[in-house]
Amino acid sequence: MGKKIVILNGSPRKSGNTSALVKAFSSGAESSGNSVTEFFLDGMDIHGCKGCLGGHSSRERPCVQKDDMSKIYPQVRDCDVIVLASPLYYWNLSGQLRTAIDRLFALEEGEGNLLRGHGRACALLMAAEGHGFEAVFGYYKHLAKQLQWENLGAVLAGGNGDIGDISGKPEIQKAYELGRSIG
Ligand SMILES: Cc1cc2nc3c(=O)[nH]c(=O)nc-3n(C[C@H](O)[C@H](O)[C@H](O)COP(=O)(O)O)c2cc1C
């Protein structure tokens, strides 16, 4: 049976290199019978975590803040695979994606941690002008380990600065194959 896949796309460029990886990954994943829900975070109203520890996993809206995270929580709660997609910004994930990740903490609060474990898996899709992925890939692996998500793999596409640079490169096929391998 197909898996439920949620993609958090942290690029601000709808036709950019990260989005090209997301498109290829999604097409591969759907060809294997999975369902894919993508959130293009830059177009969403998502505020930084307030650190109030006032969330509760079992609420319909787990966080005390009422913004577009309310659309993401139920999807993440029910998903099998979480895909983090981002351009490399200062050797890290983009702020859009980091902000959303912090807000997922609300799913860990209260009775029953709905974020950690639950047989979930994850993948990483990234584009960058250079090739300095070491630090962010280390962070991603640490995050996956701490959240008990199985790492299905990463596509780290360096050498892509401008929109369209990634077109026709092997990483597009790699993203497709990674998506197709799920299910
Ligand atoms: C604010 C900002 C920071 C960036 N930092 C890096 C970086 O640390 N290393 C790098 O190789 N490229 C860096 N880049 C280049 C982007 O990662 C690159 O253009 C990428 O292809 C953008 O992906 P997108 O098309 O999905 O937006 C940066 C770009 C911006 C706008």
What residues have CB less than 8 Å from 64, skipping those under 6 apart?
50, 52, 54, 55
At residue 181, does pLDDT exceed 80?
yes
Q: Whose CA is nearest to atom 11 of ligand 1?
A: 130
Q: Is the CB of 31 under 6 A from ligand 1?
A: no
Domains of the chain are 4-180 (3.40.50.360)
Query: CA-to-CA distance for 179 and 166, rounded, in angstroms?
Result: 18
Per residue in 46-64, pLDDT tens? 999 999 999 999 898 999 9
Per residue in 98-116, pLDDT tens? 999 999 999 999 989 999 9
Task: Give me the pLDDT at residue 75, please.
Answer: 97
Q: Is the CB of 88 under 6 A from ligand 1?
A: yes
pTM for the predicted model, two decimal places:
0.98
- Asked whether the beta carbons of 177 and 28 are under 8 A apart, the reply is yes
Per residue in 68-86, pLDDT tens? 999 999 999 999 999 999 9
CA of 126 to the centre of ligand 1 (A): 10
Task: Give me the pLDDT at residue 72, please.
Answer: 98
Q: Is the CB of 40 under 6 A from ligand 1?
A: no
